[in-house]
Amino acid sequence: MKSAYEIIIRPHITEKSMNASYGDQRIQDESQLVRKYTFIVAPDANKIEIKRAVEEIYNAGRKPDERITVTSVRTIRLPGKKRRVGMRSVGYRPDRKKAIVTLAKGQMLEDYGV
């Protein structure tokens, strides 16, 4: 069985993923915001493992009433793109897998991307 840190490789920080982590800006009530966070995960990890790993990493050391709850996990497989290395040789970037994790209403990750 893999550890949580082998499943979750790193957060995927882009402008689009940061906007999703702020939630829908039209909602004024902070307790009703649904936030989504994007991670690069192990290519062989499934949704159940990803959910368990995120909750294990971000709930470590928290009180029971402050724990986060993952409501949804969506995954995307990204095949490696072709790239040139030098003048003639062609190589490929490695394949990756992204996971978009949705938290329960009103919850957020404070140390996401740090």
Which helix (H) or strand (E) segment is 41 a member of? strand 36-41
Largest CA distance in the chain: 58
| pLDDT at site 55 | 94
Say if CB 73 and CB 101 are below 8 A apart: yes
Residue, of 36 and 114, whose pLDDT is higher: 36
Please report the domains of the chain, with CATH numbers, ordered by start residue: 4-103 (3.30.70.330)
- pTM for this one? 0.88
Q: Tens digit of pLDDT for each residue in 59-102?
A: 988 898 889 999 999 999 999 999 988 888 899 999 999 999 99
Give the range among 18-27, 43-52, 72-81 with minimum mean pLDDT.
Answer: 18-27
Place of tokens 């709930």: 59
* pLDDT for the residue 75: 98
The stretch 48-52 carries a mean pLDDT of 96
Spell out the alpha helix ranges (H) of 40-114: 47-59
Mean pLDDT of the chain: 91
| pLDDT level of residue 30 (50, 70, 90 thresholds) | confident
